[in-house]
Amino acid sequence: MIIAVDFDGTIVEHAYPKIGRPIPFAIETLLQLQKDGHTLLMWTVRTDELLQEAVDYCESKGLRFYAANKNHPEEDPASAARKLNAEMYIDDRNVGGLPDWGVIYHMIKGVENGVTDFSNIMMASGENNRVRRKKNFFIRLGEMIEKNKY
C-alpha cells in the first residue's frame, strides 16, 4: 500500500516551524510498516529548508521516506501535485484526530486482510477510553456553553 504521512502533529508534536517532540511510537510504527512492504510518502505543509529539516529528522531516526511532497523521488517539486497518489493518509487533522500509533498499525493490517469496519479494532484497542489530546477551541466552547446553558 502507498501511505502518505503528515509530519507536524503526526510524527512529532506541533511546534512549526520548529520540530516538536516525537510522538510515541510514530517512527517505530512507520519503520514496521516499511518492513511489512508499504511505501511511505511524507506529506506535509513544509517546503524548502523546513521540509529538508523534517526529512533529515526522520532519517536520523532510521526512517527514510520514498519521497517527500511528491509521488516519486525524481518528480519535479514545482510541478508535483499537492494531492499525493496514496491509498491511505495518516494525518492528525483526520476527523476524530490522530489515533494512537498502535491503533493505526492494526487498522492498516486490517485493511490488508480485508477489514473495512474499524469499530472492532477501535473497541479492542481501548481507543474509546484513551486520554484524548487537547480539544480544539470550538469543542471546548460548545462544552462550556452546554455546561453553563448560555
- Domain spans in the chain, listed from the N-terminal domain onward: 2-148
Of 14-23, 37-46, 83-92, 118-127, least confident by mean pLDDT is 118-127
CA separation for the pair 70, 64 (Å, rounded)? 14
Kindly report the number of other CB atoms within 10 A of residue 127's CB atom. 18
pLDDT digits (tens, 9 = 90+) for 50-81: 999 999 999 999 999 999 999 999 998 778 77
> What kind of architecture, by CATH, is found in domain 2-148?
3-Layer(aba) Sandwich (3.40)
